[in-house]
Each structure stands twice: as structure tokens, then as C-alpha cells.
Structure 1
Amino acid sequence: MTVLQGTRPRVNAGRLVEQVAGLGAIGAVPGGGVTRLAFTPGDVEGRAYVARLMEEAALAVRIDAAGNLIGHRPGAVPGAPALVLGSHIDTVPDGGAYDGAYGVLAGVEVARTLHEEGVRLNHPLAVVAFCDEEGAHGTMGMLGSHGFAGVLPPGAARVLDDRGIPVADLLAAVGGDAERLAEAAWSPRDIAAYLELHIEQGAVLERLGVPIGVVETITGRVNVSVTVDGVAGHAGTTPMEHRADALDGAARLVLAVRAIAADERVVLRATTGTCAVEPGMWNVVPGRVRLGVEFRDTSAGALEAALARLAEAAAEVAGATGTRVTVVPGARTSPVDCDADLRELIARASAEQGLPYHRLPSGAGHDAQIVARIAPVGMIFVPSRDGVSHAPGEYTAPEHLAWGADVLLTAVLMRDATPDIKR
């Protein structure tokens, strides 16, 4: 593909690719995956690596009370709101080297390019590596962006992770301070725009042969705990017609969950991700099964409809199997539309680079949907090979990494030249 050579600066593609590999080596595991969970020694080492890169980009580096690593560059106009670039560097267990990390490193590369080219923006520039996006060890996930937006739930620092460690202690391990969490919050008037560059984590762009995605909506999701209570009994002596088999009921519910998306089209995605059988013996009819269900969609109404349909299915299964089914909705994240002006700005930035683009929703959640509570947000996607993410096979080609960062840089320059709207 031929990329037009304009007068705007370009990122150092080789340096960016090298730094993505360098961060990916921290927490690398056999088989090509990366395990760098938030708050672990690997996370601390990765944060130190990124902090050094921020300093090399002439950014002033700090860690806020919510554990976010922030590099700051002043602007030329006193009192102007900041342009914020960000993502996360923590991974899931045996994840990939690109999810989140690419967006942070591309933001740092944008800052370094501006510094090396002697370009001073009107707006301050902030690059943020948000803390604990993935929800390590059962924490809430997107903890840092919640703190950044000032929307952390009351008592969040007192919550224990699944190892029994308070979030306050986890934050302290990465330089945060649970006693000052309110100080991490940014005001809407402090942010002109938030831009997040990310791998797609799906296969749409690759299948279309398009290098840039302009994200229109970030999918919302709701987690649901489903418990099926039957009657445990001896597998050899309990007649089939007399059983209240909890796993029988659970199996029917797993299929019902899939059908809510695949057949009934109530939501875009429906997944049963966990299944715990009690007592868990091969010679005992299961007495209880716990399922973890998740629904995702770009419509809050569709998510509510999926919950209602699941409740109906639960009642049907309970009646058919002689079990009792309890459905308890849990954590949820609302769908978020990316800012219309920033969507058009990203499209124009892509066109200026001579890069085709495609408008699409994000099936995954991102820090951007939390930041959207206080600022206009825009997201840029680049292709993921075979749509693989959260796995060792996660990969994005070097040219796509470079082109995405160039679009981010161009978008920053375009937004910097746009008058601010008072919010």
C-alpha cells in the first residue's frame, strides 16, 4: 500500500516496534504469551520500563493515587485543557504483547516525535498507562480509569481480591495511595479530548484488508451469576426419572445462553465462561452448579432484554429439571458512543495519511468508555492477525503498528489546531 507523504511529522516506526517487543519481553512465558498481571512484580517492572521511555520523550512522569502512570508535556496556551492519550500495560494470564501496551507505547512515541521535531502543541499532552484494566486476581477491572474519571465505587480500596489482599495494599505496591484516591480524578474542563489507539482484537479489519478502524461505539456488558440447585444423590442408585440433576439444568442453560445471541439475536454476544460443579465427584449426581455468564452489546436496552430472556430460560429449565435456578446480575458497563467530532477527525487523519479506514464497533471493553464519563473520547483500531487477542498468538504487523501511530499523531495535531468548545 502506498502511503502519502505529507508535511506532518511521522513516528519512528522501527523504534516503536522495538519498544513493543521490549515491553512484551517483560512477563514473557514459554509458548509466546505474556503474563504481566496488574500489581505483580512483572507489572512493576513493565511500568518502570514505560516510565523510562516517557522520560526519554521529555515527559514529566508521575504516578497518581489510583496507580496510573502519567507522562505530561506542557502546552503553549496557558490554561488550555489537555489532549490525553492512553491505554494499559497489564495483561491477562498468558495473554499477548499488544493489547493495551501498543496504545501506551504509541502515545509515548507521539510525544517523543513531537519533542524531536520541535513541535509545541497549544494544549498540554498527557500519556496515561491506566492501572489494572484487566481486573487482576478478581479486582474490579479498569480501576485506574475509574479513579481518573472520579467514579470509583465507595469503599473500592477496602475490597479484597480473590487472594484476600486489600486493593489499598495492591495500589501501594505500584505507587498509588488509597488515602488520596479523590486526588486522581480529573475534571471535565481539564480534558479537551481523549484518544486511545488499540489493536482491534477481532478480525473485521483484516478480512476487509483495511488498516485503520474508526470506532463508533464501545460495547457494554453485564456479568451474571447463575446458580442451579438440585439434589445430590448416588449416581448408581438414584433412578434417572427421580433425579433433580443440577448439571443437567446447567447444561440446558449454557445452550440457552448461546441461543440468546446466536439464534434469537437478542444481543451481539453471549458467553458462559465459568462452571463450578458441586460436589464434583464422578459418582455423585450434581447438587449445585454455578455458572458465570456475560452479555455484550452496543445497546443498553439489548442487555436488559438479554437479562429478561435469561430469567425466562431459567424458569423453563427449573420446571423441566426439578431444580431451582437463581439469576443474579452483577457488574455492568454501559455502552458508550465515541465522540462524533473525534470520529470524523480520526477519519480525516487516516485519509491524510492515504490510509483506508472502516467504521466499526468495539466488541471489547476499554478504558475509553470510563473516561467518556468526563471527556469526549475517540478510538483508533489497527488489525489483529486472525482476530486473536488475550492469547499468545496475538499479533499485529509492524506496518500496521506504525500506520496506527501516524494516524494518532496526525489526529493529535489536527485536534490541537481545533478551537476548544467550553464544556
Structure 2
Amino acid sequence: MIAAQRPMVQSLLDGVARIGADPPGITREAYGRGENEAMALLAGAAQALDLDCSFDAGANLTMRWPGTDPEAPPILVGSHLDSVVQGGNFDGAAGVIAGLAAVAALQASGVRPRAGIEVLALRCEEAVWFGLGLIGSRSLLARLPAGALALPHARSGLTLGQSIAACGGDPARLANGVPLRDPKTLGAYLEVHIEQAPQLIEAEQAVAICLANPGNVRHPRIRISGEDAHTGLPHRFRRDAALAGAEFALALERLWLEEDRAGRPMAVTIGRFHTLADRHAMTVVPGQFELSLDLRAYDPTHLARLEARLQAIAAEVGAARDVTIALGERSAAAPGAMEAGIVAGLARAAGKLGLAAPRLNSPGSHDANNFAAAGVPTGMLLVRNANGSHNPHEAMATDDLLAATGVLALFLAEHAA
């Protein structure tokens, strides 16, 4: 019955691509036209399957297939529909579409689950829009940090609260800190997502079972302050913010390599790295420099230790270069370890379908992190994808997504029964 869902799956993949078309890639702006139109497209597909569609106070879309036992904890299947600017088509959207396809396959097979199955399209997973990621699941589970509703949107300038209200949500409801769904009443959360490192390309396998997602600590606007000066100034007098930025970045890379050699996986990403556009010039020693930092690891204790090292490195470089390094605003996401029983269940389902499905860590943080951190039993499937993600060249094959959908559907048939 999975193969029979191919036309619907391909139509939805093509539909969200048309909505987000922004050559050379895809842009589906969170709380904007792209995300809203993609939600409308998928809601239409869900209604064609007789699913009940509703929006919560965070403006997340829930597409619900009721079970025969209204007291049974529902199983949630979700991901997101927004993208980074000029990214690829499959990061997030493929997972929501897989959820709908799994429900369609179960319906076609005559399955009627005891526990309800809910497909979620979660808002604003990507951190590019507000400097804070995983916003839909944070909203759902009351995990928004203090002050988040006042964060400005990168394009519209509206605050997060205003953006949610503009999409029919209720930011006042989110501000009270009470989860929109009690985690204790949820049976499980499952997510399908393209791989973000070419591990499955390397292994020549279509699908993997995720073991864990990293948590992260993010500083979107690190500011280094030294002193503007003439280019002829001798080195001993300089307070060069740009060279301090370079030294800071290389020190973080050395930390990463040390941790790798010790067998402690982590990652450092510096996405913004620049002198100030309105001040820099070829004949000025720069007194100001800015960068962003995403620091991630799979274990909360390890992540806390790395954050302490970050602060020490900032102090050391600042002292050596006679500059001030202000880390600035901070956001964090908890690491997400997948629930052992779900990992085993997904492995059994994959085995029945003849899929090797290696067990791998994901290099990315996902909405699954928040469900796992809230105590909801959580599992993820990774789908083979060439060329990584967050770029226009994501290259997931529809057949690989259907393979993951088959594993998901079989797991749901067994665990929602």
C-alpha cells in the first residue's frame, strides 16, 4: 500500500517546492506566505483523508485521525514546513508528508488504530527567522525561553508574538507557561527527516534509525570590541577586533578537534563572521567585529562543559588581544536521545521490510529534541539525502522517502493498535 501513495507524496513534494520557489533554492518563510501556503496545501490533503484539522495557540497545524479508544494516548508524527533562505525542498517538509502518506497507507490497508494518530506541521523550526529554533514544538510544550515572544522576525520585523497572532495563534496563551498538550498524555512522538550528513550515502542505505540528536547553545550576535586605528600602527599597539575574531574561531576549532580525538562528538559552526559593513575599510584596523556561534553536543553534561570552555576561550583571547568579547544573547536546545523501545520497534519494522536501516546519530537538532526533553517517548527515521541540507541542492529520492514511510506505517500499525 505504500507504493500506491507515491502519486500523493510526489504531488505534495512538488507543491511545496512551487510554493517556496526562490531560485536557486527554496524559501518558505516562517509565519509568512511560504509556511502558511504549505500548511494550507497539506491541510487540504489531510481533509481528503478525512482527518480533523486544527490550529493551536502556537499556530501549529494538527491533522488528526481519531482512534477507536478516545482514552488511548495519541501517537504524534511531525516535522516542520519552513526553510532557511534559499535552502532545499525536503528539510522538514518531507517528514510531514511522510506522516500523511503513512496514514493514507494504513487507511488503504483497512487499519483502524485504537490510539489516535496526529500528523503535526510545526511552526518555525529554523533559527534563521528569530535567532531561535524549534519554535513550534517549544510553543506546544511550554519550552519558549523568557522574552522569546518579543524577538523580531528577520524579514517582517514583527515580534514572535505578533507573528503568531497574525497566523491565528494566541501568544497570550503561550505566555502563561502551560503546555498546550500535556506531555504525560502523549503516547509517542515520531519524526522523519532527511539526513544532514552523507552517512546513508556512504552506507548505501535508504533509511536509518536515529539514536540521538545534539543539543545546542547558540549566540547569534557575538561582539568583539577593540579600537579603530591606522593601518601603519605597530602590532604592539593594536587592539584588532578582526584578528581577535580569527583567533577566537581557530581556538574553537582546536577545541572541536580535541574532542573528536577523544571520541566525544560535537560541532562548532560560525555562520556570521564579519567586520561592520558601515565602518570597515582597507586602511582601518577594525575596532569592531561580529560573529555567530552554534555549539552542539549529544550529552547535556558534555554540552555544559563545552560552554564553560567557550567562556574561558573568550576570556583568554580577549586578554591576549586587549579586546572585549561579549557573547551576547544566548539560546539553547536540550539534547534529544531517542527512546530505546521506539528504536527497537522501528528496527523490527525495518527488518520486516528488508531494510538494513543502520542506527546513527543525527548531526542536527530537531523538534524531536523538545519532545524527548519533555519526557515524551520519541523516535526518528533518517532518509538518505545527498549534498546535506540548508542548501539548494538537497537530493532526496522519493523512493527513499517511501521506504521510510513504510517503516513508519508498519510501526504505527503495531503501536497504535
> TM (normalized to structure 1)?
0.90
Residue type of the alignment partner of 2:114? N
| Contact 1:276/1:291 (<8 A) preserved | yes
Q: Tell me whether 1:242 sits opposite 2:240 in the alignment.
A: no
Equivalent residue, structure 2, for 1:384: 385
Equivalent residue, structure 1, for 2:186: 191
Residue type of the alignment partner of 2:227? V
- Alignment identity in percent? 31
1:165 pairs, out of 158, 170, 193, with: 158
| Contact 1:75/1:123 (<8 A) preserved | yes
| Contact 2:23/2:86 (<8 A) preserved | no
How far the C-alpha of 1:168 sits from its partner, in A, is 2.3
How far the C-alpha of 1:152 sits from its partner, in A, is 2.6
How far the C-alpha of 1:155 sits from its partner, in A, is 4.9
Residue by residue over 1:356-407, the C-alpha shift from the partner in whole angstroms, topping out at 9 and shown as x without a partner, is 1111111101111112214111001111113x21111001112201101111
**Structure 2 spans left out of the alignment, 5+ residues:** none
Q: Tell me whether 1:399 sits opposite 2:399 in the alignment.
A: yes
| Contact 2:229/2:286 (<8 A) preserved | yes
How far the C-alpha of 1:267 sits from its partner, in A, is 5.0
Give the secondary-structure state (helix, strand or coil) at the position aligned to 2:22.
coil
| Contact 2:224/2:288 (<8 A) preserved | yes
Q: How does 1:351-362 map to 2 (within 5 A)?
A: 351-362=351-362
Residue type of the alignment partner of 1:129? A
> Residues 212, 144 of structure 1: CA spacing in aligned structure 2 closer, same or farther, 3 A cutoff?
same
How far the C-alpha of 1:38 sits from its partner, in A, is 0.7
> Residues 121, 229 of structure 1: CA spacing in aligned structure 2 closer, same or farther, 3 A cutoff?
same
- Which piece of structure 1 moves more, 64-73 or 9-18? 9-18
How far the C-alpha of 1:296 sits from its partner, in A, is 1.1
Q: CA separation in 2, counterparts of 1:389 and 1:283?
A: 38
Q: Tell me whether 1:213 sits opposite 2:235 in the alignment.
A: no
Divergent runs of 4+, >4 A: 8-11
2:133 pairs, out of 138, 141, 145, with: 141
Give the secondary-structure state (helix, strand or coil) at the position aligned to 1:241.
helix
Residue type of the alignment partner of 1:303? L
How far the C-alpha of 1:185 sits from its partner, in A, is 1.1
Residue by residue over 1:55-79, the C-alpha shift from the partner in whole angstroms, topping out at 9 and shown as x without a partner, is 0111011111101011111111231
Residue by residue over 1:172-222, the C-alpha shift from the partner in whole angstroms, topping out at 9 and shown as x without a partner, is 232212233368611123211111111111101110112221111111111
Give the secondary-structure state (helix, strand or coil) at the position aligned to 2:46.
helix
Give the secondary-structure state (helix, strand or coil) at the position aligned to 2:21.
coil
Q: CA separation in 2, counterparts of 1:344 and 1:179?
A: 40
1:222 pairs, out of 217, 220, 231, with: 217
Q: CA separation in 2, counterparts of 1:398 and 1:197?
A: 13
Equivalent residue, structure 1, for 2:369: 369
**Structure 1 spans left out of the alignment, 5+ residues:** 1-7, 418-423
Q: Tell me whether 1:17 sits opposite 2:19 in the alignment.
A: no
> TM (normalized to structure 2)?
0.92
| Contact 1:65/1:184 (<8 A) preserved | no
Equivalent residue, structure 2, for 1:420: none
CA RMSD in angstroms, aligned pairs only: 2.0
Give the secondary-structure state (helix, strand or coil) at the position aligned to 1:395.
coil
Q: How does 1:285-324 map to 2 (within 5 A)?
A: 285-324=285-324
Q: CA separation in 2, counterparts of 1:376 and 1:154?
A: 26
Give the secondary-structure state (helix, strand or coil) at the position aligned to 2:361.
strand
